[in-house]
Structure 1
């Protein structure tokens, strides 16, 4: 939750009309949009004006001709497409402003469906691009968070939709996304794309602080939350090409706070105090103090909390009552000093707020129970931070808040299985908690240190899991293609065999052996290929050759067909690496079938020449091949009388993957408008869910891919390993019986603060 959201809870601009037409941009926002468009257009032009020089320098330093050519091609591509990129970027900016007043209540994110031909994988290039974008956004947020937060607050006071800093059309996240979309037509390598992104950061994002200041002043002049004051930001001269200098933001030194003494802290914390005061006695204990009570200082409170911090239980926090423990300490202090010592009003409000936050956290169903116990032990360190630094409540980038959020995010996919204390993530969180309890006295810098260490840990884990998840997706893509190929082969076999009565050996040959040739051909060349058509033609010829026929023409065709048919069959089975012994058995029986077929013709050939000719043809076509069966018509009457075993194909042929038995159980079919199906369709790739497998066991997993071709939803665990596979209908049935629960992946602290403020407002209005 951003600081902007907190202020918005108690203040609304007087000009905001709840009855304004949906979709119409408020009058005060039109100059804001135009000012932003003008400045961003100029910044983009500066980017492209300097891109040539930058890329030329890179080309000059290239270590190979290929690398040099890549930079030169990128220069040419940028020159040709810069106008389209500028136009597309500004169009997206205008569209984002146009949608500000359109309600999107209850709208779920669109399903990121993946077909088996274009399964979306997080490749290395995309990871590099994402890391670059995250870094750029983080720099803007560390530099201009206050001004952006105020702008978001003012927009929320005027529009129908609820915005945060990420969805603010002028926020760095939205601008980076618009620029990436606008550059999607550029056919450049990732190395060049990263250079272009650095140029975007240098010429566009670096000027956002000034833009935010200007549009905030414009909105103040229009009467939108004029009481929301910003701390003037320090500027430095930024040397521009050609010797010009422009005003830019001074980067913060390590550990510096962008608005540690700013008015916004008082605005946010003051709003929270006001809410608390209005529900005193309901949401928070009413203070009944002795007449001679003397408040202790914040430093004294911190020392008392440090004493309690050493007594936090190692496991469950259920029996540890912080307020009672603190009152007991204060009682001892009062007894020694002879005067009633109490916590000051401001610090009392901080204690109440942090207590409410942790009540939400410890009740949150998204956190696994074992990790809740660990996170619960952070209550005193977080309380001490809040007492020392009130920006804890207003600044989303506060290291203590971020550490809590990162721990909760990492815990989202954690599963309680086996010895939890041996799990690497559990051990890391326990290590962080213990370090804070042991070492945190009054220097909040420890949170920054632990945050950096924890981010490095989860970064390594994430890279490993993404690699395994990618392999899982690759395997599923291969399985999907194999499944589609099996269906094609099944259809081809059933089209030719279903309803016919044929020799058993031929049916077995086609179902057990030639189906493998068809599978291989389908996977390798596709169903539109000449190779696929040739394999089908061979199957058609084989079926025709063993069916009863009459007449000289049929006999002549059979004699001409058999040599080539036998050659095609052998080559196909060899290419599919079919068992040679079984192949020999099949051909022996097939030869007997063909001989019997020729002997059944009533009209003998006038001479033996055609037979000899057939043998000659066979010899010519199979000269390099050893062992191809040739027709031998010199059979005895006893052999001729031996009829082949016949089989009627009355059931559809179903092929199974190796080691797999296909379930023939009929799946439940729900109507298209069924609520459970709508829930499934609103799932997005990357969503975390919890399956209730039985009364005792739950499975947490992430939707890794939706494969349209097979209708499979593939779920992986925290390590990226596949743990579950469901169909759309199968998932809908699980939703219907309440066995699936979506896990909220929003930031834990922000959700907790939103919940606390929402509860306070409800109590106030009750």
Structure 2
């Protein structure tokens, strides 16, 4: 290959190219290096992102607080949403770096020579310092391992480009690759702890393969005739586990260490085996010892389990299905056919026992609805096959099979047994997942990741819909609570002014039926400390005074001054509350008659001259201000109607909410130190509970809100719809009669494994 011809042609071409156009600037050999490197880097990045969920989930599982756990979950979501942008941004930087290899921009100072101002210097922030230390450590590891291969690549690049490079400015060097990745991740809104975890993943999945990257790049340039005399050591081909395992040392709290994983897995599974060995033969049946019995291989066991799996859908009652017994029968047939006794190997037998005990706990768990236990129970064989294939099933909380089981159980938490289960979307989805596993899972665990992603997308959509309805329920309840508080304020105001008094019936009705609505509206809009509230109360006080009997001479003058403004305030208030106009007219006609009678009583008593002159002056002032005083024209005594119907307010006025037919019954009063009240106070928003309504019916619901002003506890079903509300005392009564039970929302598999380990330890010491 005529390398010189290519270089000459490139130099000639670069003088004709636009400064911004990368086309034609690189020799063919460098284009091949770039494209191969980009392809490998892309694959490595995909490996990073494919395993990021597992890592972050593992860290969330170990989180010591809700805030820390939420940070990891938010990071998982953010990383998923921005994955494509990060990949694109990273590869774009790599392509730009190659495009600039033959560009030397004259006149542009190099970064190392930039002028520095002491005014611009500042202390390095802690987060930035941690990030820098992590990057330096990553680069140092690559340099200590692959320095020779990188040095040869840099030398070969310098032989065919105009710009001179060193290892730090090599576009495939660990320094620039780390910077490109960090720049591509700049849009992630994550804490430094999460960023360090992502950098660790980048070190494992991208920088960890630099030896292969440099070897292939050098090989491509050697084939192109670029410095073939330089000899590099062959790259070490490292075995990568299909599913990574993360362990954590005490020295680096919160950061997953991706080394020594296999050892960690073996330690967990080995500890479980030790517990099984110590109880075998006492608390657990010992395997039958048959002379000359041959253990079957794990592959043979997988074939037997697949045979059983295909017939699993026919199992009607999973609680009667004994996996070990079924497997023993198949082994007996195989032994009879081959003429040699066959048994399960010790390791595989331990796996079978562990999975069987896990599902015994699951099928006995009171948190799972009975109708869904039958579905989940059919997953026993697929889960056993996964455990045989991959022992990390017992040690890794983010294992796809475990997560799938946990997600199904979490979604089923609010599910209520019902007659039309087959029509319920959640039931159908779980049934679909179970059927897919029974039909399609042979020996490739990747199906669990696929089904997990599908199921989480389904539950995510359902959760978003339920959260929206749940928020509407909370908003409505908070609005009702405000209305209830306002209603109590109005009740108090009415009872303070009316209770124990004898007043015309029409006035009592007007205040209770009409003015109470005006007071409610005023209280809700302006509050009880507002001028508007005080004005509404004053109007009510004025009305009560205006219809009460008065003997003092000054009362007539006050009544003359009071009535016009009073009537105006009453009309405006009732109009603002949209009170029925017909009823308003009827009230006012009766009110006018009351005021006429009041003036008539004053007319029977001869007024003193001073009072008469005051009345005349008031009438003159009113006429000048344009206020009409129609009540001054009083009818003759014989025209006055009979005395109005009077009523004594002896019962406390209680205002009913819309749709309420009778006042709520008062709660049973419990002492403050009652244990049941402590149980109620331990409830948290989001807690799932089960109410035993009667002998046959149970209600599962979630505490959606505690409305503090009214003391109400509002419960919703899994769709977010309100199904129940109770006061604190009423809930305590339910606890006292054992009609309410808290549902454990911890991860199902983890609870089952914890229970199995606890039981094995008890059996060991018994």
Same fold (TM over 0.5): yes
Cα distance between partner residues in 2 of 1:515 and 1:424: 48
Task: Give 2:421's aligned residue.
Answer: 420
- Contact conserved, 2:600 with 2:634, CA < 8 A, in 1? no
- 1:266 to 2:266 alignment: yes
For 2:729, the equivalent position in structure 1 comes to 729
Q: In the TM superposition, what is the alpha-carbon distance from 1:370 to its structure 2 partner?
A: 0.3
Please give the alpha-carbon distance, in whole angstroms, between the structure 2 residues aligned to 1:209 and 1:750.
33
SS class of match (1:499): coil
Match of 1:289 in 2: 289
For residues 516-573 of structure 1, what are the alpha-carbon distances to aligned partners after superposition, in whole Å with 9 as ceiling and x for unaligned? 0000000011111111111011001101111111222111000000000000000000
Please name the residue that 2:386 is paired with.
385
1:63-142 to structure 2, matched below 5 A, reads 142=54
Deviation sequence 1:456-496 (CA, Å, 0-9, x none): 00000000000000000010011000000000000110111
Q: Work out the CA distance in 2 between the residues paired with 1:211 and 1:431.
A: 49
Corresponding residue SS for 1:318: helix
Equivalent in the alignment of 1:466: 467
TM-score normalised to the size of structure 1?
Answer: 0.69
- Corresponding residue number in structure 2 for 1:343: 344
Shift, 1:711, TM fit? 0.6
> For 2:201, which of 249, 252, 259 is the aligned residue?
249
Q: Do structure 1's residue 600 and structure 2's residue 611 form an aligned pair?
A: no
Cα offset, 1:315, TM superposition:
3.9
Secondary structure of the corresponding residue to residue 318 of structure 2: coil
The match for 1:590 is 591
Residue 690 of structure 1 corresponds to 690
Shift of 1:241: 9.3
Q: Which residue of 2 aligns with 1:110?
A: none
C-alpha change, 1:621 and 1:679, in structure 2 (3 Å) is: farther
CA distance in 1, matches of 2:524, 2:348: 69
Structure 2: distance between partners of 1:144 and 1:409: 19
Deviation at 1:289, TM superposition (A): 1.9
1:399 and 2:400 matched: yes
2:96 is matched with: none
Q: Give yes or no for the alignment of 1:648 onto 2:544.
A: no
Taking the aligned partners of 2:717 and 2:245, their CA distance within structure 1 comes to 40
Is the CA contact 1:691–1:739 (under 8 Å) kept in the aligned structure 2?
yes
Give 1:659 shift.
1.1
User: For residues 384 and 364 of structure 1, what CA distance do their matches in structure 2 show?
Assistant: 23
Residue in 2 aligned with 1:239?
178
Does the 8 A contact of 2:410 with 2:745 survive in 1?
yes
Three-state SS of the structure 1 residue aligned to 2:402 is helix
Matches within 5 A, 1:30-49: none
* Residues 674-689 of structure 1 aligned to structure 2 (within 5 Å): 674-689=674-689
Deviation at 1:595, TM superposition (A): 1.1
- 1:332 deviates by 1.2
Residue 331 of structure 1: CA displacement? 1.1
- 1:25 aligns to what? none
How many residues of Structure 1 are paired with residues of Structure 2 in the alignment?
571
Counterpart CA distance in 2 for 1:242 and 1:372 is 46
Q: 1:609 to 1:671 in 2, by over 3 A?
A: closer
Q: Which residue of 2 aligns with 1:492?
A: 493
Whether the aligned pair in 2 keeps the contact of 1:563 and 1:621 (CA below 8 Å) is no
Cα separation, 2, equivalents of 1:386 and 1:590: 86
1:424-435 to structure 2, matched below 5 A, reads 424-435=425-436
Q: Rate the CA distance shift 1:494–1:688 in 2: closer, same or farther, 3 A.
A: same
- The alpha carbon displacement at 1:142 in A equals 3.1
Question: Do the aligned partners of residues 423 and 176 (structure 1) sit closer, same or farther apart at CA in structure 2, a change above 3 Å counting?
Answer: closer
Aligned with residue 63 of structure 2, among 157, 166, 173: 166
SS of 1:249's partner is helix
Q: CA 1:527–1:204 in structure 2 vs 1: closer, same or farther (change >3 Å)?
A: farther
**Structure 2 residue 266 is the aligned partner of structure 1 residue 369:** no
Contact 1:687 1:703 in 2 (8 A): yes
Stretch of structure 1 that moved more, 600-609 or 264-273: 600-609
SS at the partner of 1:713?
A: strand
Per-residue deviation, 1:291: 1.4
**Equivalent-residue separation in structure 2 for 1:311 and 1:764 (angstroms):** 36
- Between the aligned partners of 2:132 and 2:636, the Cα distance in structure 1 is 98
In structure 2, the CA distance between the partners of 1:177 and 1:285, relative to structure 1 (3 Å rule), is closer
Match of residue 455 from structure 1: 456
Q: What whole-Å deviation, never above 9, does each CA across 1:380-413 have from its counterpart, x for those lacking one?
A: 0000000000000000000000000000000000
CA distance in 2, matches of 1:168, 1:305: 41
Q: Is the 8 A contact 1:290 1:340 kept in 2?
A: yes
Question: How far 1:634 moved relative to its partner?
Answer: 3.0
**Whole-angstrom distance in 2 between the partners of 1:666 and 1:208:** 65
Q: Residues 570 and 715 of structure 1: is their aligned pair in 2 closer, same or farther, counting only changes over 3 Å?
A: same
- Following superposition, the deviation at residue 325 of structure 1 comes to 1.4
CA gap of 1:241–1:603, structure 2 versus 1, over 3 A, is farther
Q: Distance in 1 between matches of 2:564 and 2:297?
A: 103
CA distance in 2, matches of 1:660, 1:476: 15
Tell me if structure 2 keeps the 8 A contact 1:269–1:393: yes
Q: Is the 8 A contact 1:402 1:451 kept in 2?
A: yes
Where do 1:554-573 residues align within 5 Å?
554-573=555-574
Cα separation, 1, equivalents of 2:607 and 2:468: 69
SS in 2 for 1:655: coil
Native 8 Å contact 1:255 1:445 kept in 2: no
Q: How far, CA to CA, are the matches of 1:305 and 1:465 in structure 2?
A: 39
Partners in 2 of 1:526 and 1:484 — Cα distance? 11
Q: Is the 8 A contact 1:563 1:617 kept in 2?
A: no
In 2, are the aligned partners of 1:714 and 1:726 still within 8 Å (CA)?
Answer: yes
Residues 107-165 of structure 1, C-alpha deviations (whole Å, 9 max, x = no match): xxxxxxxxxxxxxxxxxxxxxxxxxxxxx99976734788x79xxxxxxxxxxxxxx71
Give distance in 2, aligned partners of 1:730 and 1:398.
Answer: 43
Instruction: Quote the Cα distance in structure 2 between the aligned partners of 1:561 and 1:342.
Output: 105
Q: Which residue of 2 aligns with 1:542?
A: 543
- Give the CA deviation at 1:376: 0.2
Per-residue deviation, 1:640: 2.9
Task: Tell whether the 8 Å contact from 1:309 to 1:381 is kept in structure 2 after alignment.
Answer: yes
Kindly tell me: are residues 622 and 408 of structure 1, through their superposed partners in 2, closer, same or farther at Cα, counting changes over 3 Å? farther
Distance change in 2, residues 1:614/1:402 (3 Å):
farther
Contact 2:63 2:69 in 1 (8 A): yes
Write the deviation string for residues 172-211 of structure 1: whole angstroms up to 9, x where unpaired.
53877999xxxxxxxxxxx9xxx9xxxx999699899999
CA 475–505 in structure 1, closer or farther in 2 if over 3 Å, else same: same
Q: Which residue number corresponds to residue 210 of structure 2? A: none
Return the offset for 1:265. Answer: 1.1
Structure 2 unpaired stretches of 5+: 1-47, 76-81, 87-124, 139-172, 185-195, 207-239, 247-260
- The answer to whether the 8 Å contact 2:521/2:577 transfers is yes
Q: Which residue of 2 aligns with 1:476?
A: 477
Residues 680 and 731, structure 1, Cα contact 8 Å, conserved in 2: yes
Aligned to 1:724, the other structure's residue is in SS state strand
User: Secondary structure of 2:744's partner?
Assistant: coil
Secondary structure, counterpart of 2:500 in structure 1 = coil
Higher share in helix: 2
Q: Distance in 2 between matches of 1:549 and 1:212?
A: 96
Q: Per the alignment, in what secondary structure is the counterpart of residue 599 of structure 1?
A: helix
In structure 1, C-alpha distance between the alignment counterparts of 2:309 and 2:134, rounded to whole Å: 40
Equivalent positions of 1:698-737 (< 5 A) are 698-737=698-737
SS state at 1:310 partner: helix
Mapped partners of 1:414, 1:382: distance in 2: 23
- Contact preservation (8 Å) 1:546, 1:597: yes
- Contact persistence 1:564–1:618 (CA under 8 A): no
Deviation at 1:310, TM superposition (A): 1.0
Check conservation: 1:413, 1:718, Cα contact below 8 A. Answer: yes
Q: SS where residue 343 of structure 2 aligns? A: strand
Deviation of 1:617 (Å): 3.8
Question: 1:715 is paired with a residue of what secondary structure?
Answer: strand
Q: 1:243 to 1:271 in 2, by over 3 A?
A: closer
Structure 1 gap segments, 5+ residues each: 1-135, 150-163, 180-190, 214-234, 624-628
Larger radius of gyration: 2
8 A contact 1:415–1:699 mirrored in 2: yes
SS for the counterpart of 1:542 is helix
Whether the 8 Å CA contact 1:551–1:603 is kept in 2: the answer is: no
Mapped contact 2:486–2:523 kept (Cα < 8 A): yes
What SS does the corresponding residue of 1:577 show, helix, strand or coil?
coil
Contact map agreement 1:615 1:631 (CA 8 A) in 2? no
Shift of residue 326, structure 1, vs aligned partner: 1.0
SS at match of 1:702: strand
SS in 1 for 2:319: coil
> SS of 1:631's equivalent?
helix
Distance 1:506 1:747, change over 3 A: same
